[in-house]
Amino acid sequence: MAVLPIAQIGEPVLRERSREITRDELLAPETQSFIDDLIETMRHAKGAGLAAPQVFRPIRVQAIEVGDNPRYPYKPKIPLTVLVNPKLTPLTDEVFLNYEGCLSVPNLRGIVPRFVGLRVEAWDRFGEPIDREVWGLSAGTFQHETDHLDGTIFVDRVTDPRTFCTWDTFRAHHEAAFVDRVRALVARFGG
Ligand code: NI
């Protein structure tokens, strides 16, 4: 396994629509080995998720995992999930305000509205179907990663640019209020 370089904002690959892959391509040893590297890179960078175009490979594959993550100590845990060719369908019009960051956007966070509930349809890394609902804060993570497959970065969705902050100023001035909102969300939807 290998830790791959992560594309930073400004790289054209982050602005492309990544392409679907076939089941045969997914099951090829080279793709399986790439998925191992994607997971390794996500864990090494302590990300909550990583999409293939973020490591310079514009295919519709993403990994999500939230354990005890020092970047996001308030996040509900999400077991390792690999989504291939994902389709997200909002289950409600209701949105919540998520403070997001991204491994492709160094030291910047901002508030993004995200749907509170989604249907997630995809293949897993072996081509088996996934069809499940995701609610609450975790739904924001799935939307953020799937956006990458369409060339969208969270900064595009920040509705009030005055919410931009660094990781340090987030901790100093915004984290406490955000964590209160997150707790309310987790209390409603679990996590
Ligand atoms: Ni990202």
145 annotated active-site: yes
Residue 106 in 3-state DSSP? strand
- Of the listed 65, 100, 145, 175, which one is catalytic? 145
CA of 170 to the centre of ligand 1 (A): 17
Q: pLDDT tens per residue, the chain (191 residues)? A: 899 999 999 999 999 999 999 999 999 999 999 999 999 999 999 999 999 999 999 999 999 999 887 777 778 889 999 999 999 999 999 999 999 999 999 999 999 999 999 999 999 999 999 999 999 999 999 999 999 999 999 999 999 999 999 999 999 999 999 999 988 998 898 76
Q: How far apart are CA 22 and CA 148, in angstroms?
A: 19
Rounded to two decimals, the pTM is 0.95
Domains of the chain from N-terminus onward: 12-189 (3.90.45.10)
Phi first, then psi, for residue 74 (nearest 5°) are -90, -5
Contacts of 43 (CB under 8 A, 6+ apart): 65
Q: How far apart are CA 112 and CA 49, in angstroms?
A: 16
CA of 162 to the centre of ligand 1 (A): 20
Of 154, 169, 167, the closest CA to residue 113 belongs to 154
Cα-based distances in Å from 59 to 47, 62, 177: 19, 9, 37
What pLDDT sits at residue 70?
75
CA of 189 to the centre of ligand 1 (A): 23
Q: How far apart are CA 91 and CA 8, in angstroms?
A: 32
CA of 48 to the centre of ligand 1 (A): 9
Decide: 102 and 141 in contact? Cβ < 8 Å: no
What pLDDT sits at residue 191?
61
Q: State which residues have CB under 5 angstroms from ligand 1, the bound ion.
A: 102
What pLDDT sits at residue 13?
98
What pLDDT sits at residue 113?
98
Q: How far apart are CA 40 and CA 86, in angstroms?
A: 21
Of 174, 60, 56, the closest CA to residue 110 belongs to 174
What pLDDT sits at residue 148?
98
